[in-house]
């Protein structure tokens, strides 16, 4: 659920709440009413409008960091161990499944760490 909501924030940032798109709307309105702002001012306003939505990206990011930390701590308590794709006697399907998990975990951890670094 956290992941889905985080993806929603990215989706919104790329679509309806895209800063260039919102800046164009403000530009068009001002233009029709005989006013104007410089492009960087339009972008500034667009970012301000987007901010309350994007703040949620960061909140959800922290929640996901917490959840993933739990996921990585659990094997130390003997539950939810990571599965080894190099174990012997695995079928091709099982190998594929286990590698998929490993690649997924690496991808998410890289996203979380880079997210934390940006913050
Ligand atoms: C699975 C985890 C994550 C994914 C998939 C993800 C995805 C993204 C993407 C795609 C962008 C670039 C958006 C764009 O430029 O269009 C971004 C930017 C950003 N993310 Fe994340 N993120 C994740 C985790 C986090 C975490 C954990 C944090 C911090 C707590 C975070 C904070 C940020 C910040 C501050 C930006 C830059 C916003 C800006 O340039 O104004 N992200 N993230």
pLDDT digit string, tens, across residues 10-67: 999 999 999 999 999 999 999 999 999 999 999 999 999 999 999 999 999 999 999 9
Domain match, 96 and 110 both: yes
The CA-to-CA distance between both ends of the chain, in Å, stands at 22
Atom of ligand 1 nearest to the CA of 107: 1
Domain match, 86 and 115 both: yes
Domain match, 102 and 66 both: no
Domain match, 61 and 111 both: no
Domain match, 89 and 114 both: yes
Domain match, 58 and 94 both: no
CA 79, CA 70: separation in Å to the nearest integer? 11
| Predicted pLDDT at 105 | 95
Domain count, the chain: 2
Domain match, 90 and 62 both: no
CA 53 / ligand 1 centre spacing (Å): 13
CA 20 / ligand 1 centre spacing (Å): 18
Give the global pTM: 0.91
Assess whether pLDDT exceeds 90 at residue 80.
no
10 lines ligand 1 (CB under 6 A): yes
CA 58 / ligand 1 centre spacing (Å): 7
Atom of ligand 1 nearest to the CA of 14: 16
Domain match, 107 and 119 both: yes
Domain match, 27 and 13 both: yes
Alpha carbon of 44 to those of 10, 15, 29, 34: distances in Å? 19, 17, 16, 20
Domain match, 45 and 70 both: yes
18 lines ligand 1 (CB under 6 A): no
Structural domain span for residue 69: 1-78
Atom of ligand 1 nearest to the CA of 59: 30
Phi, psi of 103 (to 5 degrees): -65, -40
């Amino acid at each position: 659920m956290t992941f889905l909501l985080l993806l929603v924030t990215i989706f919104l940032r790329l679509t309806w709440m895209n800063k260039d798109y919102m800046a164009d709307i403000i530009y068009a309105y001002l233009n029709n009413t005989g006013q104007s702002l410089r492009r960087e001012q339009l972008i500034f306003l667009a970012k301000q409008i987007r901010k309350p939505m994007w703040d949620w990206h960061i909140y959800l990011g922290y929640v996901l960091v917490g959840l993933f930390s739990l996921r990585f701590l659990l094997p130390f308590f003997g539950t939810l161990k990571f599965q080894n794709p190099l174990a012997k006697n695995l079928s091709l399907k099982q190998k594929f499944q286990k590698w998929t998990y490993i690649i997924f975990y690496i991808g998410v951890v890289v996203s979380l760490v880079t997210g934390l670094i940006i913050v």
